[in-house]
Structure 1
Amino acid sequence: MNKRYMFVLLTLIVTSAMILSACAPAAPATEAMTEAPTEVMTEEPTPEPTEAAPAIGSPEHPIKVLFVPSVDANVIVTGGEVMAEALNEATGLTFEVVVPTSYAATIEEMCASPDDTMAFIPAFGYVLANDLCGVDVSFKAVRRGWGVYWTMIVVARDSEINSIEDLDGLRFAFPDAGSTSGYLVPKVMLNEAGVVPGEELEAGGHPQAVRAVYTGEADFAAAFYSPWAAPEGADAWALGDDPEVPVDINNCALNEDASQLLCEGYRVLDARANIREEFPDVVSKVRILTLSPDIPNDTLSFGPEFPAELRAQIEQALSAFAETEAWGTSLGSEDFYGWSGIDVATDAEYDFIRKLVVESGTTLESLR
């Protein structure tokens, strides 16, 4: 076999092998099968039903009636409960009588509970509360026909103090730094006279401030002044008259049940009368040095978010209560706030006090 033949034969063998290899079926590719994860369905818990908040004025959510601690707290609570019961009978609403520890605390409580508080606060406190959170005035006090009242500065009757200028450097007792007649107004009066007190004593109330002068703890004090009541047939007090009773002060004494301090029939109604049982001779021991200009009377004010419908019910009920005999054992008592009645008030009536607040630089923070 020659070489040419062998070459052709090998070529045919290789070619055939290649053809057979190309025609062979391809091995199937192995696919990696990944099983989709099973989705686990979780059922959301059904929310627990929530109870509706108790209605304002209900036994579970009483309306808070706040009273500034200007007189004895026990007197306030007792008289306040009389009023609360009368309002409850008239409206069906529930009230809670509260006496905060200070004037500032009263304002703070109104702003902290704007939808369920009403408060009997003085002009100074009202202006601060209105500026702080929008507390709104409703009524003002009427005392024996007067829609205003006054600060009296009192000193020991046997002292040599004859003018406000003589008070410079002396010990000063005042009821509370949030009191209109007991602090704001007298401080402005002292500043205008160039008087800088020495030691200052925050007595805790108008009667306590007068007591501090009686006992010698202070040289002078500021407290509220309401005019004396004249006996039948005598002329009533008028602006410009002497603030002291127009009779011999040594003839002042308590009536039979100690409910009044009388001087030959003239009834003392200023802050001195509030310590009459402890010191029946207070008028002969403590005298009035001077009075302030007119001060707008104290207010009944409501929290800024107090429900209008409830407010209207309370205003109507309170107006009716003011015409009853029970009023005299509550707000009308001379040992309480001495309100002989109420009248509608407007915010603008307290602009004079706003001016004093600005002039004195007083803020709620400074009262704490």
Structure 2
Amino acid sequence: MKNIRLTSVLALGILASVGAASAAENCRVVNMGFNPAQDSAAVLTNGTAIAKYLESKVRGIQVKTTVAQDYQALVEATRSGKLDFAWLSPVSYVQAHDEANAQVLLKSVRNGGPYYWAAFVVRKDSGIKTLNDMRGKTIAWIDPNSAAGYTFPRATLVAKGVNPDTFFSKQTFAGKHDAAVLALANGSVDVIATFSNNTSGTSGSWTQYLPADKAAALTPVVYSKPIPGDTLSVRADYQTGCADVTTRIRSAIVGMSSDPAAAGLLKKLYTIDSMIPAKDSDYNVVRQAIAASAKK
């Protein structure tokens, strides 16, 4: 009987060892997805640079990067387990958390604050000066899962008693912020909903993606409430099974802003100054905006 028990203990020990080795192997390869908020080729180049930095800081891991086709695809890849970490917009994070138990790790800081705004932007020569002047005009949103390019600006209109679906004569989706500002500058649409880094009209997608002379011809006319910064999130089961790697990656990204070897990497990626710790409750305001934007 003692020999049988000893054999059983040894067998359990071997199985545990094999399981640990398997877990370690699963944790070694990290799949990280990026938000296609702007030119996908640029995002992939800058995301790959961040992956190489993480590999240099977290020994033994291999970071595989991908840029999603759109916001929803990034959520679905997280839900299906194809991605371990994802750079999610605030709305995409809420969706991934509430539907697939993704966990927020960090949020972005720009211009000294962990938040930004949605803005309705027009051409200065359009004659559009106020919200009411936008009535009957054509608008380009960004994506249904974009906080600054859809959810928050729609919620802003609803809060002012405006039905977004009847207020404009035509609605389209640009897909990306850089495409939207080009469409506005070229006269393809009258209004765009996009991100702004402040409420003084001096910094936003139009100043980032256009030459100075073309950017100077555009101006925001209405701003939303502040939006919490976009996120780095992780699949809950990956975080549980690979806690050490998750913690090290999180720490490495937090440290990027003060590491000369990483200077500029976050800025090149999404014009981020730094990433700071975040918690799910930070995004309750996003949940409120989602509910409000669905109203007519």
Fold similarity call, TM over 0.5 = yes
The residue that corresponds to 2:169 in the other structure is 198
Give 1:296's aligned amino acid: P
Which structure has more helix as a fraction of its residues? 2
SS in 2 for 1:149: strand
The residue that corresponds to 1:238 in the other structure is none
For 1:56 and 1:162, locate their aligned partners in 2 and report how far apart those are by CA, in whole Å: 55
> Given the alignment of the two structures, is residue 243 of structure 1 paired with residue 213 of structure 2, yes or no?
no
Give 2:293's aligned amino acid: S
CA contact (8 A) 1:69 1:102 kept: yes
For 2:45 and 2:122, locate their aligned partners in 1 and report how far apart those are by CA, in whole Å: 31
Deviations 1:64-123 (A, max 9, x none): 111110011121111111110111111121111110101000000001007x51011111
For 1:120 and 1:71, locate their aligned partners in 2 and report how far apart those are by CA, in whole Å: 13
For 1:327 and 1:273, locate their aligned partners in 2 and report how far apart those are by CA, in whole Å: 24
**Cα offset, 1:330, TM superposition:** 2.1
> Given the alignment of the two structures, is residue 312 of structure 1 paired with residue 244 of structure 2, yes or no?
no
Give 1:220's aligned amino acid: V
The residue that corresponds to 2:9 in the other structure is none
Structure 1 gaps of 5+ residues are 1-50, 228-241, 246-268, 363-368
The residue that corresponds to 2:68 in the other structure is 100
> Given the alignment of the two structures, is residue 349 of structure 1 paired with residue 282 of structure 2, yes or no?
yes
SS in 2 for 1:351: helix
For 2:119 and 2:22, locate their aligned partners in 1 and report how far apart those are by CA, in whole Å: 51
Alignment of structure 1 residues 35-46 onto 2, 5 Å: none
For 1:293 and 1:118, locate their aligned partners in 2 and report how far apart those are by CA, in whole Å: 28
More displaced 10-residue stretch of structure 1: 174-183 or 282-291: 282-291
SS in 2 for 1:209: helix
**Cα offset, 1:360, TM superposition:** 2.8
The residue that corresponds to 2:130 in the other structure is 163
The residue that corresponds to 2:13 in the other structure is none
Match of 2:51 among 70, 84, 94: 84
The residue that corresponds to 2:6 in the other structure is none
For 1:65 and 1:164, locate their aligned partners in 2 and report how far apart those are by CA, in whole Å: 39
The residue that corresponds to 2:34 in the other structure is 67
CA contact (8 A) 2:155 2:290 kept: no
Ranges of 4+ aligned residues in structure 1 off by more than 3 Å: 51-54, 325-329
Alignment of structure 1 residues 118-133 onto 2, 5 Å: 118-133=85-100
**Cα offset, 1:326, TM superposition:** 4.3
After TM superposition, the score normalised by the length of structure 1 is: 0.68
After TM superposition, the score normalised by the length of structure 2 is: 0.84
Give 1:283's aligned amino acid: A
For 1:349 and 1:82, locate their aligned partners in 2 and report how far apart those are by CA, in whole Å: 29
Q: Which has the larger radius of gyration?
A: 1
Match of 1:287 among 208, 219, 225: 219
Q: Tell me the number of residue pairs that the alignment of Structure 1 and Structure 2 aligns.
A: 267
The residue that corresponds to 1:113 in the other structure is 81
CA contact (8 A) 1:82 1:329 kept: no
The residue that corresponds to 2:207 in the other structure is 273
Give 2:234's aligned amino acid: F
For 1:338 and 1:328, locate their aligned partners in 2 and report how far apart those are by CA, in whole Å: 12
CA contact (8 A) 1:275 1:282 kept: no
CA contact (8 A) 1:57 1:94 kept: no
> Given the alignment of the two structures, is residue 149 of structure 1 paired with residue 116 of structure 2, yes or no?
yes
> Given the alignment of the two structures, is residue 55 of structure 1 paired with residue 25 of structure 2, yes or no?
yes
Aligned-CA RMSD value = 2.0
SS in 2 for 1:101: coil
CA contact (8 A) 2:158 2:292 kept: no
**Cα offset, 1:319, TM superposition:** 2.0
Alignment of structure 1 residues 2-41 onto 2, 5 Å: none
For 2:289 and 2:213, locate their aligned partners in 1 and report how far apart those are by CA, in whole Å: 35
The residue that corresponds to 1:323 in the other structure is 258
Give 1:188's aligned amino acid: A
Give 2:292's aligned amino acid: E
For 2:72 and 2:118, locate their aligned partners in 1 and report how far apart those are by CA, in whole Å: 20
Distance change in 2, residues 1:105/1:294 (3 Å): same
The residue that corresponds to 1:19 in the other structure is none
Structure 2 gaps of 5+ residues are 1-20
For 1:111 and 1:325, locate their aligned partners in 2 and report how far apart those are by CA, in whole Å: 35
**Cα offset, 1:182, TM superposition:** 0.7
CA contact (8 A) 1:148 1:297 kept: yes
Give 1:108's aligned amino acid: E
**Cα offset, 1:54, TM superposition:** 8.0
**Cα offset, 1:131, TM superposition:** 0.7
The residue that corresponds to 1:216 in the other structure is 187
Give 1:176's aligned amino acid: D
For 2:113 and 2:234, locate their aligned partners in 1 and report how far apart those are by CA, in whole Å: 23
Match of 1:340 among 266, 273, 277: 273
Higher-RCO chain (CA-CA 8 Å, sequence separation at least 6): 2
Identity %: 25
